[in-house]
Structure 1
């Protein structure tokens, strides 16, 4: 500072400063140094406080945290008021009656006719053309079909050699039929039961006894049986016009020596309307994303802003607006300039999705939507630019610095925010991939991942089969039974592709 200037800009006349004793000047200089250091400490503590405050206030609305992690006294719960309505269906609600099976599906049909009038007792005659139908559904006792094969050994009367009979080619060596293998796979993959629970269910419900090791062996057999169908599904997804992608952490042990460095595994998913593909890898890098989508991927990628997808051109990308909404809310909850910028971004995002919902319900045409979006886009871009223009230090960790860095990153990929406006069939969010990966997250939490690479392959393949067949409304147990049977007979495995895709591929191969 100037010699005649005290801290915080307090000035004193030159004459007074010159007459000030040297000891007082030294004290003033020490005070000034102390105040400067205190200001730095205060700024550091303030930044740390804001960072901790942001962590404390983190919810599913302003971060990628799941709703289950939200605190019990969250703002949403505070705003929720107790309804005055009674429990159950409300007046005007369309009820749902019990589903009745077709008559052809019934094992027997019993006709019950009244014999006499309930009022006067006269005998009743005639036929009711529209009787009330009442069905009783029962499951018969389940008893496993056990076939014993006895392999006899006979001695040759000529040379004395002992020869034992061999099993027929269609008899499994392991001792369990294809439906048992398929059922073990479905209990594990669709219903996410542990090895011990599968063992218990097979014995208690179906009367089939097996040890824990057998359960794992049958799982591996089922995994091998669907490997070809899953690989075909991967090729289908890579050649689809629009693909949603996402990834989540996974745990893979080193029992088989395939993860000797104890790396964290990652479960990847690529989603299309009718086919979904999963894979587990020990990497989250760009090469893994290329393996998932194909190095020559030519479709449109719907994903978040994770860097591993940056090799896909911006012209082919639609970034998830659900993630952007959380970023905007996070910015709006910060102090100072960040709050006003964040609120402006949230406001424009809400206007955008209000219009998009009208497009989806048919009250606004796509052409009208395309005319209204440019104004919203310009306002969002100007708000991002306003934040990006602030000068910050490279190591600065203040709330404003975080906002500036986020907005600068968004400006770099701003082109990829609006593809859904022009291209029909592209969604503004990546919800399809996140919904597809949700069962995998639940499976991971209950099983703590896998212990071997083969186990990870089983998880990925079964998730592929289950998710794909559900989207096509096909029976999972029937598919698994057919796949295991084809594997044992060395036949081609059934396909996971939609029927029209299978036909087109077979015609192309024939040609």
Structure 2
């Protein structure tokens, strides 16, 4: 670069006006060279430079919807990028010697009038040889599920009554070792169901339990809860831990199970486990929403989320011992669906206008400090002066709140600072200066609530910390592909983060949830917080 930051700080309109034509031309040439070099740096991508592919934006090719409301903040906006590439059409048959296409064999490669090969029926052709499980699972124990009472007369069935097995299945589950012998092992269990005859002559028959069933339009197989599964409750929770907590793909989970446990599961079985656990734990969200609405202080934040061609947002609502995630649009209705207009607690958020419907609102000072720091390093003298002043006041107020603020002294400083911000409300040269000044003035009382009410938080760190793990997961997975996948993500992330916040194991709880819900029972309540 020809000009350094020190040089640019000295270049303003007054300096340029004082130069002669030759001097101005010389300065312009240097600035032009710097501009071209900067533009070339901005245009570098993994396709035209040595940048790694991981530096590419995860949201390329996703059209961004125009939100119903606008934000005071620009840092989370996602720029729409024009989609590139089209689907490749199937090629025509190769032309014969005379230039015409070679006739296809009957039933193979037959083209329609448009020249495209019609897609065949999905799935195994009728009559074709099927493929089943080839791995032999060693059976460690057998559980006989026999009726305890007669289904007709309600009489207790004697234990010595003859049991006739009719159906059965094998379940593989993960067994944890004792405290004196820690470790993990897989264990196969055979479950038998059948008939027992009563003295009244009625034959009572047992069968595997069943729970909820979720039908998805366009999908042949529904997600359902049933005890008739090869994957046991704790193993299902372990698969969720690998996929959601360790951020492994379905194929990587499959690889892990083969390498470390010698267990062969298909990618489809692993995916179905995750969907099933998400369906089983779905009612927990109602309990979390109820706790959020009753809380005295809630933190809320949102981050972009990709759902196969649609730009959505991952929302998080966090309290002292509750975390709720959901995927949806960045609208006011999303907030109202969770908290409702009757929410009476304090709400800590950023500057998004959707939150302004709540009277007891707080603003995150960390966002304002970052913006002030950005202006304080500006190459424009006036922008630098304004940013430095905002940063000075914010840092002073942080110390005041920590040490126990002196309300009269603080109010005097804030009154003077408010007048200073009014001077920059319509500052023409810099849009960023105007934006920060207007943001401070529009939310003036909200921003300085912690100065007047002791004990209120200064930042939205609780919500941002809850989002951090899932933001990293987004960089790896690039989001979800279906609405069901987004719902499963919200449910499982909510349960995992809430249990972590309460110092309890989310995997023991999820195993209990899947076991009860497969039987058709209600979801167990969330564990109470445990002191650290």
Is TM-score (shorter-chain normalized) higher than 0.5? yes
Partner residue, 2:294: 239
Distance 1:465 1:486 in 2: 16
Which residue among 345, 352, 377 is the counterpart of 2:390? 345
* Runs of 4+ with deviation above 6 angstroms: 150-153
Q: Equivalent residues in 2 for 1:273-288 (5 A)? A: 273-281=320-328, 283-288=329-334
Partner residue, 2:471: 441
1:106 is displaced (CA, Å) by: 6.2
Partner residue, 2:516: 486
- Tell me, yes or no, if the aligned pair for 1:303 and 1:319 is still in contact at 8 Å: yes
Q: Equivalent residues in 2 for 1:14-413 (5 A)? A: 64=75, 107=180, 139=182, 142-148=184-190, 167-169=207-209, 172-253=227-308, 262-281=309-328, 283-313=329-359, 316-334=360-378, 335-356=380-401, 359=402, 364=403, 366=404, 368-388=405-425, 390=427, 392=428, 398-399=429-430, 401-413=431-443
Cα deviation, 1:417-464, whole Å, max 9, x if unaligned, reads 112233344211111111111111011111111111111111111111
Distance 1:279 1:63 in 2: 22
- Tell me, yes or no, if the aligned pair for 1:143 and 1:207 is still in contact at 8 Å: no
Point out the structure with the larger helix share: 1
- Evaluate the alpha carbon distance shift between residue 166 and residue 239 of structure 1 in structure 2; reply closer, same or farther with a 3 A threshold: closer
Distance 1:169 1:106 in 2: 32
Alignment RMSD (CA, Å)? 3.3
- Tell me, yes or no, if the aligned pair for 1:246 and 1:434 is still in contact at 8 Å: yes
User: Normalised by the size of structure 2, how large is the TM-score?
Assistant: 0.59
* Unaligned 5+ runs, structure 1: 1-34, 57-61, 66-104, 108-137, 154-164, 254-261, 393-397, 501-511
Larger radius of gyration: 1
1:168 is displaced (CA, Å) by: 4.6
- Tell me, yes or no, if the aligned pair for 1:233 and 1:497 is still in contact at 8 Å: no
1:280 is paired with a residue of what secondary structure?
A: strand
- Tell me, yes or no, if the aligned pair for 2:341 and 2:357 is still in contact at 8 Å: no
Cα deviation, 1:23-60, whole Å, max 9, x if unaligned, reads xxxxxxxxxxxx9xx9xxx9xx99x97xx89x98xxxx
- Evaluate the alpha carbon distance shift between residue 416 and residue 178 of structure 1 in structure 2; reply closer, same or farther with a 3 A threshold: same
User: Normalised by the size of structure 1, how large is the TM-score?
Assistant: 0.61
1:339 is displaced (CA, Å) by: 1.9
Distance 2:265 2:484 in 1: 21
- Evaluate the alpha carbon distance shift between residue 445 and residue 418 of structure 1 in structure 2; reply closer, same or farther with a 3 A threshold: same
Distance 1:148 1:452 in 2: 35
Distance 2:194 2:355 in 1: 62
- Evaluate the alpha carbon distance shift between residue 352 and residue 478 of structure 1 in structure 2; reply closer, same or farther with a 3 A threshold: same
1:152 is displaced (CA, Å) by: 9.6
Partner residue, 2:47: none
- Evaluate the alpha carbon distance shift between residue 286 and residue 276 of structure 1 in structure 2; reply closer, same or farther with a 3 A threshold: same
- Evaluate the alpha carbon distance shift between residue 441 and residue 208 of structure 1 in structure 2; reply closer, same or farther with a 3 A threshold: same
- Tell me, yes or no, if the aligned pair for 2:281 and 2:523 is still in contact at 8 Å: yes
Q: Across the two proteins, how many residue pairs are aligned to each other?
A: 345
